[in-house]
Structure 1
Amino acid sequence: MIHYLRIWLASVRYSIVRSMMFRGDFIMWALVELFWMAVSIASIAVIYQHTDAVAGWTKYEMLLLLGTSMLIQRLLMGLFWSNLFEMGRNVRSGHFDFFLAQPGNMLFMVSTRKIDLDSLLNVFVALAVVVYAVGKLQLEPSLADMLTYALFVGCGVGISFAMLLLIASVSFWTIGSQGVEGGYFTLYEFSRLPRAAFSGVAKVAFVWVLPTVVVTNAPAHTLIHGLSGTYTAWLLAATTAWLAIAIGVFQRGLKRYSSASS
């Protein structure tokens, strides 16, 4: 573990130095992400000027849900997105050979080589939104509730990572997966909606089969109503299953890979 920690810290140092070399680019993308976060928050303010509740969720409960969604997505983007997005391109170009030659677990080396500081910077903005919503709701979560919230956010990041890894692993069999990657973020937009807003086929698809709704509703529900045994069991099981499937597909793709370089 110490060996991998040193590798990851070296990657962090590399990413920081690279970001500081291109400070204008770093600042621009951080502001772009901040702008889209502000648009999402403003949309809630507009919606609740015309209603008191959406699917039983009040304004600040919805803001807590949105903040949780943004927190998970910013962590995913900051820690893993660039690495998994580039994996398909590296497989097609043959640059994936570089990772095969490295002394470490292949999945770790592929998924942690870079971090995006602009996304990680906005993690604090997302946390501020969550704290603000908790204050407005006058909630007093216990230490156990806060630890469970952090665990559920980690599960959300894990499930999202697994989905992206599955999509990126398609590159071992196909020419590209850019369109599918874009589809993932379209699906993730559903995470900003309450679970109660879904019914019928949509509930089965986005709550149970593709748990894009549960990954945000479970942490928010914990802070508002306390720990739920159903949410805990389902989210832990879903995280384990999705990671197992994604890693299995990735390992199978590795066996199929042959260098495309000269």
Structure 2
Amino acid sequence: MFRFDFLLWSTVELLWMSLNVLLVSVIYAHTDSIAGWSKYEMLLLIGTSMLIQRFLIGFFWTNIHELGQNVRTGHFDFFLAQPGNLMFMVSTRKLDLDGLANSVIALAVVGYSAHELGLSPSLLDIAAYGLLVGCGLVIHYSFMLTVVSLSFWITNAQGLEGSYFTLFSFSRIPREAFKGLTQLVFVWTLPVVIVSNAPAKTILYGFNPQLGLWLLGAAAFWFGIAVTVFHRGLKRYSSASS
């Protein structure tokens, strides 16, 4: 049963990733550039976005999704009874191997795109890319944890949880496509665009310290918000035995 579940969800995620790549091919059959990005530059951006999301789903998604459910049912008491850092245990109890397995496919999309573009990134650029992908993962994780931690205040946060994929679908769009108010909201206020654009541009053009510091600062800021909201929510939690 578990093997079938792994194969099924791995296939579902692989099909979803394939549709994203196919969509790029269809669009670029009718144009040569979108916001100044060529076909393989766009594929590299989408591959980076998918890589970050696969890591999020593999390491954290199930745990964070179950947090709201555990708070509503009182099963959160299980974590309170354990020694150790509560936020760490809540976030890392389970792994989704299907998500992690497909991270290899996302990385292959990035590698293939770089090859087609004739890129030869240095070891520093590759290391910086990995660091910025990690920062993007921290931002995704922090945003999700912040949203789901609202379960300590409201009865059901499932609608807010679902808004995650809608909001972070913007990470597959080039930063240059956003103008005016949309740039203010999705580039400067909410880091939903920069999480993938910054590491992708590192592979394309080399490491940009200013862009790297921007993403590092955003990761630290959102992680701080997640920690604050989570721990304040704990003070409002009433255990099942109370």
Shared fold (TM-score, shorter chain, > 0.5) = yes
Per-residue deviation, 1:82:
0.3
**Total equivalences in the alignment:** 242
Partner residue in 2 for 1:166: 146
Amino acid at match of 1:207: V
Q: What amino acid does structure 2 have at the position aligned with 1:162?
A: S
The match for 1:195 among 165, 175, 188 is 175
Shift of residue 261 of structure 1?
4.9
Alpha-carbon distance, 1:25 to partner: 1.1
Q: Quick check: 2:187–2:193 contact (8 Å CA) kept in 1?
A: yes
TM-score (norm 2): 0.98
Alignment partner, residue 230 of structure 1: 210
Q: Match of 1:253?
A: 233
Alignment of 1:1-262 (within 5 A): 22-261=2-241
User: In structure 1, how many angstroms separate the alpha carbons of the residues matched to 2:181 and 2:209?
Assistant: 24
Q: Deviating runs (4+, > 4 A) in structure 1?
A: none
Q: Give the aligned partner of residue 16 of structure 1.
A: none
Q: What is the CA distance between 1:229 and its match in structure 2? A: 2.2
Measure how far apart 1:235 and its partner are: 0.4
Shift of 1:260: 3.2
The C-alpha deviation readout for 1:200-253, integer Å capped at 9, x for no partner, is 110011111110100000000001111112211110100000000110110111
* SS of the residue 1:250 aligns to: helix
Query: How far did 1:39 drift?
Result: 0.3
Structure-1 separation of matches of 2:27 and 2:56:
28
Give the aligned residue type for 1:173.
W
**Aligned-partner Cα distance in 2 for 1:57–1:230:** 21
User: 2 CA distance for matches of 1:182 and 1:88?
Assistant: 13
Gaps spanning 5+ residues in structure 2: where? none
Structural RMSD (CA): 0.9
1:259 is paired with a residue whose SS is: coil
Partners of 1:260 and 1:166 lie apart in 2 by: 23
SS of the counterpart of 1:257? coil
Structure 1, residues 149-189: CA drift from partner, whole Å, max 9, x if none?
00000000000000000011000000111111111100111
| Residue deviations 1:76-124 (CA, integer Å, cap 9, x gap) | 0000000000000000100000000001100011000001001000010
- The answer to whether the 8 A contact 1:88-1:168 is kept is yes
Query: How many angstroms apart in 2 are the aligned matches of 1:201 and 1:141?
Result: 34
- Scaled by the length of structure 1, the TM-score of the pair is 0.91
SS at 2:120's partner residue? coil
Is the Cα–Cα contact under 8 Å of residues 95 and 261 in structure 1 kept in the other structure? Answer: no
* Contact 1:93 1:261 survives alignment (8 Å): no
CA distance in 2, matches of 1:149, 1:73: 15
CA distance in 2, matches of 1:211, 1:108: 23
Unaligned stretches of 5+ residues in structure 1:
1-20
Kept in 2, the 8 Å contact 1:33–1:119? The answer is yes
Percent identity over the alignment is 59
